[in-house]
């Protein structure tokens, strides 16, 4: 890969679930001018009080290496893993998409939702809320199709990701 080429990386960070840990990670990104495309965080092990943060970021190989090294030296960080480099991984995001429409557009939105395996989780006479799960690209594609059909609001969770097969972080 060229030194100047910018690529997207999904990085998983296992941290102690303590006050301020998310602020440390976000502060690191903003303070050093790194890019955050998406970020998710939740506790994954209640016994050891560990949370997993998944950050999607982009940069040159040198910047990505810096991001990982900088994350690694934060005191409450246990592990940093670059899923993009670790091998194939599964990436999923959930989105709630509100479409306000009537008539043919309303029907068409249902049809498209069906193709994308999106579920209607709320309905009124003039609106749907679809729940869609998939890769960020799939959700982008869904939203693009919904746009002319009355898409009015989107809430996305950001990416959760994990390596395929037996590879552990």
Partner 1 sequence: MAERIMNGAEVVLQALADQGVEVVFGYPGGAVLPLYDEIFKQNHIRHVLVRHEQAAVHAAEGYARSTGKVGCVLVTSGPGATNAVTGLTDALLDSIPIVCLTGQVPTHLIGNDAFQEADTTGITRPCTKHNYLVKESDRLARTMHEAFHVATSGRPGPVVIDLPKDILVSPAPYIEPAKVQHRTYNPQVKGDRSQIEQAVEILASAKKPVLYCGGGVINSGPQACKLLTEFTRLTGAPITLTLMGLGAYPASDKQYLGMLGMHGTYEANLAMHDCDVMVAIGARFDDRVTGNIDFFSPGSTKIQIDIDPSSINKNVAVDVGIVGDVGHVIEDMMKVWKAKQYSINQAALDAWWGEIEGWREKRCLSYIQPNDVIKPQHVIRRMHALTRDRKTFITTDVGQHQMWAAQHFGFEHPNEWMTSGGLGTMGYGLPAAMGVQVAHPDATVICFSGDASIMMNIQECATLTQYRLPVKTVILNNRYMGMVRQWQQLLHGSRYSESYSETLPDFVKLADAFGFTGLTCTKPDDLDDALQKMLDIDGPVILDVAVDDKENCFPMIPSGKPHNEMLLGHETGDAQAIDSDEGMVLV
* 67 beta partners: none
Count residues near partner 1 (CB under 8 A). 20
Smallest separation (angstroms) from partner 1 to the CB of 7: 16
Give the nearer residue to partner 1 in terms of CB position, either 73 or 117: 73
Smallest separation (angstroms) from partner 1 to the CB of 75: 4
Q: Cα 48–46–166 angle (5° rounding)?
A: 75
Strands 119-123, 77-82: parallel, antiparallel or unpaired by DSSP? unpaired
The region that residue 117 occupies, defined by phi over 0 for left and psi between -120 and 50 for alpha, beta otherwise, is left
Residue 77 tokens, joined? 């960080």
Segment interacting with partner 1, rule: CB under 8 A, options 63-71, 89-97, 126-134, 146-154: 63-71
Give the nearer residue to partner 1 in terms of CB position, either 75 or 115: 75
Strand arrangement, sheet containing 50-59: 38-45, 50-59, 7-16, 77-82
Smallest separation (angstroms) from partner 1 to the CB of 39: 17
Residues of this chain that bind partner 1 (CB under 8 A): 3, 16, 19-20, 23-24, 27, 31, 62, 65-66, 69-70, 72-78
């Amino acid at each position: 890969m060229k030194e100047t080429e910018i690529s997207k990386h999904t990085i998983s960070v296992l941290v102690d679930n303590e006050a301020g840990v998310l602020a440390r990670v976000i502060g690191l990104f903003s303070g050093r001018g790194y890019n955050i495309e998406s970020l998710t965080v939740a506790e994954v092990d209640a016994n050891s009080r560990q949370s997993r943060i998944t950050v999607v970021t982009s940069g040159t190989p040198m910047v990505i290496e810096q991001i990982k090294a900088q994350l690694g030296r934060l005191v409450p960080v246990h592990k940093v893993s670059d899923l993009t480099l670790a091998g194939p991984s599964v990436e999923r995001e959930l989105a709630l998409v509100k479409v306000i429409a009537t008539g043919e557009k309303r029907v068409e939105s249902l049809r498209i939702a069906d193709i994308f395996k999106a579920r209607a989780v709320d309905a009124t006479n003039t609106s749907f809320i679809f729940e869609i799960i998939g890769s960020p690209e799939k959700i982008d594609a869904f939203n693009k199709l919904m746009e002319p059909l009355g898409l009015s609001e989107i809430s996305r969770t950001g990416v959760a990701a994990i390596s395929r097969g037996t590879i552990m972080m």
